[in-house]
Copies of this chain bind each other. A is one copy, B any other.
Amino acid sequence: MYNYPNKKKSLKNQENLSNLNKRGLDFEEEINMANEYYVSNDIAHIYKKPTPIKVLKVKNTTESFTKRTKIIDAFFEKKSTTDYNGIYKGRYVDFEAKESKEKSFNLKVNLHAHQKEHLYSVSRHGGIAFLIINMKKYGKVFIVEISKINKEQDKLDYEFLQDYGYEVNQDSTIYLDYLKIVDRLIGE
């Protein structure tokens, strides 16, 4: 058999991508990797907000040869806003990353009312506010602007995502190059 290096390379990449999907590489990890790429190439400065944790008790230790404060009692707090925010092309960008194994995305169960409200506010104030949803059943990732979603809507059907959302392309050098879609949102 002949060797078609480009073809092979392309196939190999596709295999890698599909492997990533199969082994279920953490969706948030994919977004974080894109953000790291954007930051290190000075394209955008978007970060994941740390999970809010309420610290109740700490202890000073000298573990692992360094003096440090060890947290020995704490709990996870409810997020008041969204997962990610930052700046791209002078615009404020704010979004929540979600996954679904179902045929449709259940908004009622998967998005807190205060997070939805926050996204509406951002949009009203001129920011770019959206959901990025990994529809695992279809192996596709969609971006839907919050302005496209009705306040009363309690789920997003796959057809809705196709009609009102944008599929995030997964075959570039950045695995999840979601800013390409944000470019389209800015252009609208």
Contact = CB atoms under 8 A, between A and B. Distances in A.
A45 B121 contact: yes
A156 to B, nearest CB: 24
A71 B68 contact: no
Interface of A: 39, 42, 44-45, 47, 49-53, 55, 68-77, 80-81, 85-92, 94, 118, 121-122, 124-127
Contacts of A76: 69, 71
B69 A72 contact: no
A88 B47 CA distance: 19
A51 B50 CA distance: 7
A89 B81 CA distance: 19
A126 B69 contact: no
